[in-house]
Structure 1
């Protein structure tokens, strides 16, 4: 069946009105459990961050059955730089494609993106693909299908820690943890129950959501006040997440949890459940209650909730922090990948940043020094930490 699907004729096109395919788009994002690929994430990001960018949403359809959507790539571009929409606030990106058709989708979409941005003339496109699965086959297919030669360089690498839940009970999860973990969680949880009125509250009231998000931001800021500052301190990022949280709550995805002691929120968890994948995005707690480990107790509670809701995977999202590794049982390697012409200043900066010299062999020796000079003159910068 898959083999026959791969031989089908497909048609790719850039959409003037991406909202016109929201239902099919949403369904495909839900099927892979990725909030960062939903039309809701796209819409919230465009509202708060996309003012100086243009959408390049490419739809791929079955040429013989145009009503059948086979895939979608939600890109945006500023000038000639192409990125996934939401790249600065999202943790994992990929093309959306029907099972077995990812290669066909990206192969047909590449030329459309190039046409929109200007990939075949002097004004060549530069693709910065943030937080994609490292070594994913579609990256090579996309580069090979691009009209013109692209050098591909990994700039940043990280991991997405995950916990597999399928078929596990809460007792199974606890049994899989270390004795120290079980002891620490059990003692902290029992102490809270003994000394306080302990309540786990999930935000589910649209009328109260704005106030709940403000409480979450306060706790997240408090957690990071002595650790370099909160990533959610800016007005724009808070407006984005409040907007996204409202859209997610409407869809039934939002999982905004509070641990309350005697009626006072002392820890918060901000994430979502989409398509069998329960995700942890940000958290916070009141440092005054730090010795009680409210963050640990709340995170464990959300894992129990994920199991009870039938989630198959619990994603701790981007970052290899030790506390995430206490919960995870696997790590998905991710990378930020730059695709650009071999003489593009971004390629040379990427090579210098990553320490990879693979592209150098494709460039004549006589132009290397001029390319390095161009990098400095252009002031090209590459992605660093997420700017949530």
Structure 2
């Protein structure tokens, strides 16, 4: 098997026909691994991503398997940076993993694992990995226990004991009455009675979001959701609401969202966000919100019953409650499956290859800069060094690490940083200014003068730059040159444009 790395949206966009072919053939594929859902997710993802694409070696044929991944960056209390390799849909997708044409699955997984071991990471996080036990076992067996540890993640919520690795779902029959016969007599009677009330055009009604109403309907859903979950999730709530809104809005735009809202007159009572997979004929219940002060008929039961009935009428074959074994889900006659949630970690606790993933350097630089700004100088210095070990010509790291070194008084090392920057940023004055300051601090006055001269050439309006030049020239004993520089600063030199002096320094 040959593996290509897809790393840009243009290439990913051209994969649709091939991707759909693999997706349709994979019995374990779910919406979160569809080309359509991933397209809207990857184009907004803030961290680097890659798609491993497998094809038969020596063949120009289409790809036979895909494995979408993302690269996160983390930093410990000592300033040591590392990378985590995660499923691409992490933090939004309830189901993650890979897709493959069944006949090529085993070979593709082996090839994927070999490629993954050539990447730079400390933890390979297999969160919410969906697929057969055989698929998961094949993947993790490729990671030798002599070099890696494999540990299971605890997905049980400590507050309510909900197991978020268990996923209830309903296999839908061809008609509503047949489905009702699979339920307990009590639930069957409740659903029939409650839905008759709604169908009778009483005070209760259910609307489906349209292009004109979806923004308002999402506001309703997320307002209810926020009220319920803010006491538990605290400050994280705001970012979760933003993330849910963004993902669900994009899903609606691509025809992937069914959003029913239950009303009592003009009062919204509850709403469901359900993702729609036409290719796999599935409804996937993603999130709900309801008016916790409403004391009437059960809004959740009504909306799920309505949505299951609607799904059957649309020819859907599965109603998936996604992650979490909350008790209420089991009244709908569900089966369940378990996700694989494990972490493969390097035994060394460091990135494979001893370096950061170059794709995540921008994220690493942000982490280092945050430490620097917080005054955690030793940690920031360690992080900058790691970045430069991977990317020796990273301008941001050279600039900030150089400043850190200069502030520490290590002007010899700072000078090396700034000198390299002057060769890389030929059109900006700042590296020359920093170089001049470090040279001046070391008593290298002629080199400082040359650097300040370049600042003047590039940006003569820099405050006090002529004073700096005059000062180092005096210190170097270049009195006449200092006098000319002083005259030029007052516009009395004979130099011409931009106020540049006519002398040279050797």
- TM category, shorter: 0.7 to 0.9
Residue 329 of structure 1, CA deviation? 2.6
Give the match for residue 154 of structure 2: 156
Task: Please tell me whether the aligned partners of residues 148 and 346 of structure 2 are also in contact (alpha carbons under 8 angstroms).
Answer: yes
Cα distance, 1:193 vs structure 2:
5.6
Cα shift readout 1:279-323 (whole Å, capped 9, x = no counterpart): 101111112324311111011100001111111111100001001
The residue number in structure 2 matching 1:336 is: 341
CA offsets, 1:130-181, max 9 Å, x none?
A: 012487222332234348733322222521101111x431101111111111
TM-score relative to the length of structure 1: 0.74
Query: CA deviation digits over 1:5-27, x for unaligned, max 9?
Result: xxxxx311211325423313355
Paired residues of 1:36 and 1:90 also in contact (CA < 8 A): yes
Change (3 A) 1:267 1:113: same
Structure 2 counterpart of 1:175:
181
- Going from structure 1 to structure 2, the CA distance change for 1:133 and 1:252 (only over 3 Å counts) comes to closer
C-alpha distance in structure 2 between counterparts of 1:254 and 1:182, whole Å: 27
CA distance in 2 between partners of 1:230 and 1:176 (Å): 40
CA distance in 2, matches of 1:19, 1:161: 36
Distance 1:326 1:345, change over 3 A: farther
Q: 1:73 aligns with which of 49, 67, 88?
A: 67
- Post-superposition Cα deviations, 1:18-68, rounded to whole Å, max 9, x if no partner, equal 5423313355446655232234544554566x43x3212111123354341
Aligned to 2:443: none
Question: Could you tell me how far 1:333 is from its partner in structure 2?
Answer: 1.2
Give 5+ residue unaligned stretches, structure 2: 73-81, 156-164, 352-506
Aligned-pair distance for 1:212? 2.2
**Contact between 1:154 and 1:337, CA under 8 Å: does it hold in 2?**
yes
Matched pairs, number: 325
Q: Does the CA contact (< 8 Å) of 1:93 and 1:130 recur in 2?
A: yes
The gaps in structure 1 that reach 5 residues or longer are 1-9, 118-123, 347-388
8 Å contact from structure 1 (residues 220, 232) kept in 2: no
For 1:38 and 1:106, the matched residues in 2 are separated by 18
Q: Distance in 1 between matches of 2:93 and 2:208?
A: 23
User: What pairs with 1:272-351 in structure 2 (closer than 5 Å)?
Assistant: 272-274=275-277, 275-342=280-347, 344=349
Aligned to 2:194: 188
CA distances 1:242-295 after superposition (whole Å, capped 9, x unpaired): 332333223322111111222432110101121211110111111232431111
Structure 2 contact 23–99 (Cα < 8 Å) conserved: yes
Cα distance in 2 for partners of 1:257, 1:65 equals 47
Does the aligned pair in 1 maintain the 2:284–2:322 contact within 8 Å? yes
54-63 or 272-281, larger mean C-alpha shift: 54-63
- Aligned to 1:199, the other structure's residue is in SS state strand
Residues 172-209 of structure 1: CA deviation (Å, up to 9, x unaligned): 1111111111233334334456683332221131x443
Indicate conservation of the 8 Å contact 1:201/1:259, yes or no.
Answer: yes
* Other-structure match for 1:12: 3
In structure 2, C-alpha distance between the alignment counterparts of 1:191 and 1:308, rounded to whole Å: 19
Q: Deviations over 1:330-384 (max 9, x none)?
A: 11012311112345499xxxxxxxxxxxxxxxxxxxxxxxxxxxxxxxxxxxxxx
SS of the aligned residue for 2:332 comes to: coil
Q: Which has the higher contact order (CA 8 A, sep 6+)?
A: 1
Q: TM-score, normalised by structure 2?
A: 0.58
Helix, strand or coil at the partner of 1:265: strand
- Which has more radius of gyration? 2
Aligned: 1:91 with 2:91: no
**Structure 1 counterpart of 2:128, from 115, 131, 137:** 131
The answer to whether residue 272 in structure 2 is matched with residue 269 in structure 1 is yes
1:242 aligns with 245
